[in-house]
Chain A
Amino acid sequence: MRVFFLMASLAATTFLTSVHAAGASSKVEIRKTTDGGFELVRNGAPFFINGAGGTGFLENLVQAGGNSIRTWGIEQLESAGGEKNLLDRAHELGLAVSVGLWVQHERHGFSYNDPAAVQKQRDEIRAAVRKYKNHPAVLVWGLGNEMEGPTSDGSDPRIWKELEQLARIIKAEDPNHPVMTVIASAAATKVRGIQQYYPSIDILGVNSYGGAMGVGSTLQSLGWDKPFALTEFGPLGHWEVPKTSWGAPIEPTSRDKAASYYVTKTKVVEDGRGKCVGTYVFLWGQKQEVTSTWYGMFLKTGEKLPTVDAMTMAWTGKWPANRSPKILKIESPLANAVVSRSQEYPVQATVEDREGDNLRFDWEVRAETTEQSVGGDAESEPPAVPGCLASGSGDAVVVRTPSKPGAYRLFVTVRDGKGGASADNLAFQVQ
């Protein structure tokens, strides 16, 4: 659901040259296990995906125990920054890449009834596979992400039929890497559409948030008999949480998010009964979607949030040497309240830090975003409202509500000065 960019150009794929780093091309197979499940076999060895969606903070990912990243569009491979492309950087770090091949969405203006546009997309995907198939970092081809539309019921067969054509193109070009297609939630109509019209799929990727832990049993109940991966999971989505009286979604606390990430990772594998070949946590990076802290696992300033620690525990069974501070609670009459303009309210944060680091608190009021993006499309972060910190510092402050009526959030960010942070917010409305 959560793509934060593109739909744009596969133009980069039109290069005809093949790209591969030093080292042999990878070969990835799907093998049936003795207990009726599946496993990926990469260069002869079993490989379970402990992955993350995103292209940054890769050293942190390796330190946390991750072994794979997932991209959404081929241009990400070239625009990773620095002198090396993303596949080379990943390979150097020992990370395998689920290489996203963007399949157009009709909600972005594409038409699957336009033969010329459909052919152009096929040509671009063929070129991309031809270009990158020999790179040793390639794990699987991620053919499409929620191309059925994040709010679609998946009953339109055109997209599934076209995916079948695209998968055949990929397999003709590259028999050494499985094809995975990612849908938004394991809805029955989508799964049945794929079963009926898209037999060449190797792995079903499912993006799921609130229902992520039960994806395996849901697929089993629908008769899905191939491997699956949980390709996006994270906190409860903003469409899944309780709302304030004025309709603002209440963001889960950083404490709840950390627990949710850990539990989802461990439960989905149990629930998958051997058919889950891995998971990709979302988002290994930072983005604005509803708020600047809802989905990202890092701050804009680069500090890791408690969700990174949670995944470190999930992947390695150990905590990192320095854990992020933990916000236990934020107490204020301002929380989820309708208040008057230019009034002062006390706010108290209770925070613990396992290492006893000196903590820095930053408090900011921002207007609620007015952008209603769909499917994780890009949003801009509303600016901070000046003059809202009336008094106090550290974990106890007095906040002055803005003079302009509207919906707002008070954000608190706690940094330990050693690369760890936590961030929470509370919503309020000014009349």
Chain B
Amino acid sequence: MKKILTIVVSAGILSTAALQAQSYDFGDHSSQTLVSKAWAAQDAKNDAAVLAYTGKCIEMFQPQALEQQKALSAPLTVKEEIFKQWALNDVGTALFIRGQALERQGRTAEAIADYKMLSEQLPYAQCWDVQGWFWKPADAASGRMKALQFDAM
């Protein structure tokens, strides 16, 4: 039941993103481009753009991300191998970025749904930090989810 709810809420967000999508430049429509644009939009505090870029990334590449996750039995540790999981990494990162934007908009239930989906379905996604290491969006999402649940208590 919980998974169904997650999918329903996520689908709702995707629909919203689809409506917003027409006014944004998605570049070459690659997952990397969409996530880069999402980060830039977040830096610019443009949450509408964040939702559009992340929504597009998730909409386009979620099936591949789930397939890549399914093929793994543990988090990868070799940089080159990690980068090969491009859909998993980018969709996982997009879910985290979108969750943050939804939090800022006070859409807590939707943010929790994204974090939950990321934690449960894409736990091996990794994101390269320019400072020289990988971090796991699912770990960060799990923390944010707990924080939001705590705040509501």
Contact = CB atoms under 8 A, between A and B. Distances in A.
A263 B146 contact: yes
A266 B150 CA distance: 11
B117 to A, nearest CB: 19
Contact of B139 (A213, A256, A258, A266): A213
Contact of B147 (A217, A263, A313, A319): A263
Contact of B153 (A260, A267, A271, A313): A313
14 contacts: A213-B139, A217-B139, A221-B77, A258-B150, A259-B146, A259-B147, A259-B150, A260-B147, A262-B146, A262-B150, A263-B146, A263-B150, A267-B143, A310-B150
A259 B139 contact: no
Q: Is the interface of A mostly helix, strand, loop or mixed?
A: helix
Interface string A374-386: 0000000000000
B62 interface: no
B116 to A, nearest CB: 15
Interface in A274-324: 310, 313, 319
A156 B151 CA distance: 43
A217 B139 CA distance: 11
Given A259-B150, A267-B146, 19 more contacts: A213-B139, A213-B143, A214-B139, A217-B139, A255-B151, A258-B150, A259-B146, A259-B148, A260-B147, A262-B147, A263-B143, A263-B146, A263-B150, A266-B146, A267-B143, A271-B139, A310-B150, A313-B150, A319-B153
Interface in B90-142: 135, 139, 142
A397 B148 CA distance: 29
A214 B135 CA distance: 10
Contacts of A263: 143, 146-147, 150
Contacts of B147: 256, 259-260, 262-263
Interface of B: 77, 135, 139, 142-143, 146-148, 150-151, 153
Interface in A204-259: 213-214, 217, 221, 255-256, 258-259
Contacts, number: 32
A255 B146 CA distance: 14
A271 B153 CA distance: 23
3 nearest CB pairs, A to B: A259-B147, A263-B146, A259-B150
A422 B88 CA distance: 41
A334 B146 CA distance: 31
Nearest to A211: B135
Nearest to A214: B139
A217 B138 CA distance: 14
Interface string A20-37: 000000000000000000
A160 B148 CA distance: 41
Nearest to B77: A221
Nearest to B142: A267
Contacts of B143: 213, 263, 267
B17 to A, nearest CB: 25
A256 B150 CA distance: 10
